[in-house]
């Protein structure tokens, strides 16, 4: 066994290590500054209780983006230096964010050990490569992201840090499955490299009826396409969709994980998942080839998902509502009923209508998956989702891109259980249109203004808050822009009191609520690494089944005009159009 020594290395604080919505995300060059990563890692260890450090088991892996391999070696040495007992690494440093959550919750080591936390190395849907983003976040014992109490403590520590602990271990081979053991003055330290997919697959098999999905996927009537955008989902897609469920290998697009995501932007939306969008017949291409019945994409770390039907886009807000409405029938894990459902504030109210009709507990939380975690730990929520292409359940404490695809495939398999031999296939589009006919439709769109001047974005938001003090003035402006939209009856900044721990989160987005149930929401993104991103969420409810089939951009055009006018978007940002529309 290789012997190691621990040393204390002097360091000085960096002023910019405040974790955002999902950990610390910066350009790779920022992370490459001497001691930058080390300071953050030590500040995290210092923020944890001693039993989660000394003698503990830590998972370290991520979406495989550029700089991950270096980061894994640095963190492993620091883990040994800080007296941890072992580090678990997915083969080649790959573990999707949902798989990390599953590993923390479910995996038992050879000697019965369990992990108490993880460093997830990802900047999620942000591009990767030497000139792009890297990120790190800490997840807790329940498998969910560290709560604000911990991330605040980490940030405080980063401001005063003077030294970090590290061990003089050699670099560990993370390409080969197996255990490497080292010996320090306080005892043994192991690095265990394990298969990235098997724990996760085991969990999925305990949730879904793989046999019925296999029947669907192997039926010649059903065609399928999955785009991993060169993110870590590729490490799971072949194993699950092809090997376990019988899909054709040719149905996988961009499923080889790459450090730079093939130069693309690994965000599963209509703008960035270009190849899939074209293949599904949604782009401008005039291809003669018949698109598949079902398409889906994931982001870099595979917690997000986009679901498409043939020439048909499913909004994430509808997706979670439809999963909730069908879960009990179609997914064995939920057969005893749902404990409750939840959505983030800017997500459309489609889920609210389902919750009301099925008499389910319902929660509206601020943006950020961590808010769902508390509800799930307290047994209050089974299914939840966000407009930002996140959907999941209480099987783990992260959103789960592949789970969402399996949920949709389960619903399709259930609806088609008698149609696969003969009869007309119930399509994704049929499922969505039937849902609208039953529950009404929430027309929904999101406009993103990326990388705008941070000062201008703040001013725009401040003006919108100020405007809220006079609804008369607001309504004068609204009717001046568009005479045929209904009146604003309430406006506020969303504030949330966590029903489990009583904590209060303020300034979670600016809302304008209209008499007919329409909503405009303005928020600043918490996940960017440069400048500011303004998000504008626009929603309108239509109950009349004869009016639920319109094009959503047409239906929402009057509200869009109101939103742009009310916020003076062009005046503040200089932008005449958003960067991305979903
Ligand atoms: C991450 C979180 C999500 C959240 C999203 C918001 O993906 O995990 O829970 O919805 O960020 O991103 P934004 O850029 O809008 O702050
Ligand atoms: Zn992600």
Pocket of ligand 1 (CB under 6 A): 21-22, 124, 344, 367-369, 386, 388, 390, 525-527, 535
> Which pLDDT belongs to residue 528?
67
How many whole angstroms separate alpha carbon 46 and alpha carbon 50?
A: 8
User: Does the interface ipTM go beyond 0.90?
Assistant: yes
pLDDT in tens, 429-438: 999 999 999 9
Residue 147 has a pLDDT of 87
Active site residues: 124
**Section 485-501 average pLDDT:** 94
Which one-letter DSSP state was computed for residue 483? T
Of ligand 1's atoms, which has the minimum distance to the CA of residue 370? 9
For 336-342, which contacts have Cβ atoms below 8 Å and span 24 or more sequence positions? 338/382, 338/383, 339/379, 339/380, 339/381, 339/382, 339/394, 340/375, 340/380, 340/381, 340/382, 341/381, 341/382, 341/383, 341/384, 342/371, 342/372, 342/375, 342/381, 342/383, 342/384
pLDDT of residue 285: 63
Residues 49, 143: Cα–Cα separation, whole Å: 16
- Angle at which helices 471-481 and 454-467 pack, to 10 degrees? 110
pLDDT per residue as tens digits for the range 346-402: 999 999 999 999 999 999 999 988 899 999 999 999 999 999 999 999 999 999 999
Per-residue pLDDT, 421: 83
- Residues 452, 504 within the same domain: yes
Nearest to 574 by CA among 454, 447, 456, 448: 456
Q: What's the domain count of the chain? A: 3
Q: Of the residues 196, 219, 254, which one is the last residue of a structural domain?
A: 196
**Which residue do the tokens 């109950």 mark?**
543
Partners of residue 230 on adjacent β-strands: none
Average pLDDT over residues 328-340: 98
The pTM assigned to this predicted structure is: 0.94
Percent of the chain with pLDDT over 70: 99
Phi and psi at 364, nearest 5°, equal: -115, 115
Q: Which two tokens stand for residue 436?
A: 């609208």
Based on the fold, state whether residues 161 and 64 are members of the same structural domain: yes
pLDDT digits (tens, 9 = 90+) for 406-444: 999 999 999 999 988 888 999 999 999 999 999 999 999
Q: Which domain holds residue 275?
A: 200-439
Question: Residue 150 above 90 pLDDT?
Answer: yes
- Residues 1-14: b if buried by 16+ CB within 10 A, e if exposed: eeebebeeeebeeb
Whether 208 and 182 share a structural domain? no
The reported pLDDT for the residue numbered 43 is 98
Going by the DSSP 8-state scheme, the letter that residue 426 receives in this structure is P
**Mutational test site, ligand 1, from 19, 20, 21, 447, max ligand atoms within 8 Å of CB:** 21
Average pLDDT across the chain, whole number: 95
The Cα–Cα gap between 298 and 277 comes to 13
Looking at the fold, whether 211 and 244 belong to one and the same domain comes out as yes
Q: What is the pLDDT of residues 167-221, one digit of tens each?
A: 999 999 999 999 999 999 889 999 999 999 999 999 999 999 999 999 999 999 9
142 token code pair: 């329940």
Q: How far is the CA of 21 from the centre of ligand 1 (A)?
A: 6
pLDDT band per the 50, 70, 90 thresholds, residue 9: very high
d(CA 110, CA 88): 12
CATH classification at residue 508: 3.30.310.50
pLDDT band at 31 (very low <50, low <70, confident <90, very high): very high
Q: Which long-range contacts (CB under 8 A, 24 or more apart) does 376-382 make?
A: 377/142, 377/144, 377/500, 378/499, 378/500, 379/339, 380/339, 380/340, 380/499, 380/500, 381/339, 381/340, 381/341, 381/342, 382/327, 382/334, 382/338, 382/339, 382/340, 382/341
HSE value, Cβ hemisphere, 13 Å, CA-based, for 2: 16
Q: Which residue, judged by its Cα, is nearest atom 13 of ligand 1?
A: 525
Tens-digit pLDDT profile for residues 503-515: 899 999 999 999 9
Same domain, 479 and 532: yes
Q: Best mutation site among 527, 532, 578, 582 for ligand 1, i.e. most ligand atoms within 8 A of its Cβ? A: 527
pLDDT for 420: 85
Instruction: Please indicate, yes or no, whether residues 145 and 182 belong to a single structural domain of this protein.
Output: yes
Task: Look at residue 582 in the predicted model and tell me its pLDDT.
Answer: 87
Whether residues 175 and 212 fall in one domain: no
Residue of 390, 510, 536, 579 best suited for mutating to test ligand 1, as the one with most atoms within 8 Å of CB:
390
User: For 124-173, where are the E strands, in sequence order?
Assistant: 133-139, 163-167
- 66-77 pLDDT, tens digit per residue, is 999 999 999 999
Atom of ligand 1 nearest to the CA of 304: 7
Q: Which residue has its alpha carbon closest to ligand 1 atom 3?
A: 368
Residue 226 pLDDT class (50, 70, 90 cuts): very high
Contact (CB, 8 A) for 203 and 106: yes
Cα 451–Cα 453–Cα 456 angle in degrees, nearest 5:
130
Residues facing residue 52 across a β-bridge: none
Are residue 272 and residue 301 in the same domain, yes or no? yes
DSSP code of residue 315: P
For 261-314, write each residue's pLDDT tens digit. Answer: 999 999 999 989 999 999 999 976 666 789 999 999 999 999 999 999 999 999
Q: Which of 158, 177, 196 is the last residue of a domain?
A: 196
Considering every ligand atom shown, identify the ligand nearest to the alpha carbon of residue 21 and give its number: 1
pLDDT, tens digit (0-9, with 9 covering 90-100), for 46-103: 999 999 999 999 999 999 999 999 999 999 999 999 999 999 999 999 999 999 999 9
Instruction: Find the CATH number of the domain harbouring 371.
Output: 3.40.120.10
188 and 208 both lie in a single domain: no
**Both 435 and 450 in a single domain?**
no
What number is the average pLDDT over the span 116-121? 98
Same domain, residue pair 372 and 455: no
Sign of CA dihedral 28, 30, 34, 35: negative
Instruction: Retrieve residue 348's tokens.
Output: 């459309």
pLDDT at 21: 74
The number of C-alpha atoms within 13 Å of 67 and in the hemisphere containing its C-beta is 25
Give the other-Cβ count within 10 Å of 533's Cβ: 20
% of the chain surpassing 90 pLDDT: 90
Closest CA to 535 of 443, 450, 444, 474: 450
Shared domain for 318 and 427, answered yes or no, is: yes
Q: Which of 415, 439, 463 is the last residue of a domain?
A: 439
Task: Provide the pLDDT for residue 186.
Answer: 84
Is residue 450 pLDDT above 80, yes or no?
yes
Q: Own/partner pairs for 71-75, CB < 8 Å, 24+ apart? A: 71/31, 71/37, 71/121, 71/134, 71/136, 72/121, 72/174, 73/171, 73/172, 74/37, 74/38, 74/41, 74/166, 75/37, 75/41, 75/119
Q: Which residues of 317-352 are buried (b: 16+ CB within 10 A; e: fewer)?
A: bbbbbbbbbbbbebbebbeeebbbbbbbbbbbbbbb
Concatenate the DSSP letters of all residues of 338-388 into one string: -S-EEEETTS-THHHHHHHHHT--EEEE-SSTHHHHHHHHTT--SEEEETT
Q: What is the reported pLDDT for 286?
A: 63
All residues at 6 or more sequence positions from 441 whose CB lies less than 8 Å from its CB, including other chains: 350, 541, 542, 548
């Amino acid at each position: 066994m290789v012997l190691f020594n621990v040393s204390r290395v002097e360091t000085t604080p960096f002023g910019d290590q405040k974790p955002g919505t999902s950990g610390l995300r910066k350009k790779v060059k920022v992370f490459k500054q001497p001691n930058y990563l080390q300071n953050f890692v030590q500040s995290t260890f210092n923020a944890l209780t001693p039993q989660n450090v000394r003698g503990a088991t830590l998972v370290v892996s991520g979406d495989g983006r550029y700089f991950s391999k270096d980061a894994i070696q640095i963190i492993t040495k620091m883990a040994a230096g800080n007296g941890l007992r072992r580090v678990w690494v997915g083969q080649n440093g790959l573990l999707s964010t949902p798989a990390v959550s599953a590993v923390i919750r479910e995996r038992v080591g050879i000697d019965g050990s369990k992990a108490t936390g993880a460093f997830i190395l990802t900047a999620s849907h942000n591009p990767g490569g030497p000139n792009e983003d890297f990120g790190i976040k800490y997840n807790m014992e329940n498998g969910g992201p560290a709560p604000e109490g911990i991330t605040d403590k980490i940030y405080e520590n980063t401001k005063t840090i003077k030294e970090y602990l590290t061990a003089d271990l050699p670099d560990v081979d993370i390409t080969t499955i197996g255990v490497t053991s080292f010996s320090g003055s306080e005892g043994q330290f192991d690095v265990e490299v394990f298969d990235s997919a098997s724990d996760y697959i085991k969990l999925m098999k305990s949730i879904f009826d793989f046999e019925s999905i296999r029947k669907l996927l192997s039926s010649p009537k059903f065609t399928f396409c999955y785009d991993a955008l060169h993110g870590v989902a590729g490490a799971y897609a072949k194993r699950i969709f092809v090997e376990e469920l019988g899909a054709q290998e040719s149905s996988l697009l961009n499923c080889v994980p790459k450090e730079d995501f093939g130069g693309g932007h690994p965000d599963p939306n209509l703008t960035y998942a270009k190849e899939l969008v074209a293949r599904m017949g949604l782009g401008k291409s005039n291809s003669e080839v018949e698109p598949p019945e079902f398409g889906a994409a994931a982001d870099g770390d595979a917690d997000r998902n986009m679901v498409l039907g043939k020439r048909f886009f499913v909004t994430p807000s509808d997706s979670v509502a439809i999963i909730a409405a069908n879960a009990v029938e179609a997914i064995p894990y939920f057969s005893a009923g749902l404990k409750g459902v939840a959505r983030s504030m800017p997500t459309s109210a489609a889920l609210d209508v389902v919750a009301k009709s099925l008499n389910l507990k319902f929660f509206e939380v601020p943006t950020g998956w961590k808010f769902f975690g508390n509800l799930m730990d307290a047994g209050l929520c089974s299914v939840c989702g966000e407009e930002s292409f996140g959907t999941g359940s209480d099987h783990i404490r992260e959103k789960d891109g592949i789970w969402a695809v399996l949920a949709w495939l389960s619903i399709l398999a259930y609806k088609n259980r008698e149609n696969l031999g003969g009869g007309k296939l119930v399509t994704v589009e049929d499922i969505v249109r039937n849902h609208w006919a039953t529950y009404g439709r929430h027309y929904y769109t999101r406009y993103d203004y990326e990388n705008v001047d941070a000062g201008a974005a703040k001013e725009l938001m401040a003006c919108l808050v100020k405007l809220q003090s006079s609804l008369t003035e607001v309504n004068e402006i609204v009717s001046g822009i568009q005479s045929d939209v209904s009146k604003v009856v309430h406006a506020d900044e969303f504030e949330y009191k966590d029903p489990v721990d009583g904590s209060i989160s303020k300034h979670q987005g600016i809302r304008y609520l209209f008499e007919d149930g329409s909503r405009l929401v303005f928020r600043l993104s918490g996940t960017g690494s440069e400048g500011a991103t303004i998000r504008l969420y626009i929603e309108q409810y239509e109950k009349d089944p004869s009016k639920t089939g319109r094009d959503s951009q047409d239906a929402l055009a009057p509200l869009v005009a109101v939103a742009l006018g009310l916020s003076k978007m062009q005046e503040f940002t200089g932008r005449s159009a958003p960067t991305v529309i979903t």
